[in-house]
Amino acid sequence: MLTFNAPPREDDRLNVVLIAHDGRKEEMAEWVAFNGGTLSACSLYATATTGRTVQRQLGIPINLLLSGPHGGDAQVGAMIAERRIDVIFFFWDPLTPQPHDVDVKMLLRLAVLHDIPIACNRRSADLLISSPLFSNVPYHRASREEPVLEPTTASRA
C-alpha cells in the first residue's frame, strides 16, 4: 500500500491559481484588480502569459508557471495532485479551440477529483471569492489531508 504525505506548507496563506485563455486575459486582470485586497492575502500562481498580464497591470507578486500550451496547465495539474493548490480561477474560452485542450480537460478533471474549488467565469469567481469560506484556510485543507484515491499494486501470480 502506498501512502501519500502532502508537501509542507510555507505558511497559512491560500494557494490560488489564475489561468485565462487569450480572449479572457483582460477580463481576468480586471477581476484581479477588483479583488486585489482579498487576493493580496494569498500566494498567487499563474500560467506565464496570464501572470504577466496581471502583473503588468497591477504590479502584484505572482509565481509564474509555464504558458498553458507549453506545460503550464500540466504544472497546475501536478500541483493539484500534490495538494499544493487551494483554489483555482480559470477563465477559459469554451468557443475557441485550444491546441492543448487535453490539458485543459485534465486540469478540470483533477480539480473536481481532488475537490478543489474552481471558478470558470467572472460570475462564479465573484461568488467564490465573496464566500465567507474563501479565506478559511483550514476549511480548504481539511478535506484533502488524505489521498482521494490510494494507488494499489497488482500482485502477479
Catalytic residues: 73
What is the residue whose three cell numbers read 500566494?
A: 43
Cβ-contact 43, 63 below 8 angstroms:
yes
Burial class for 127, CB neighbours closer than 10 Å (0-12, 13-18, 19+): exposed
CA–CA dist 98, 21 (Å, integer):
9
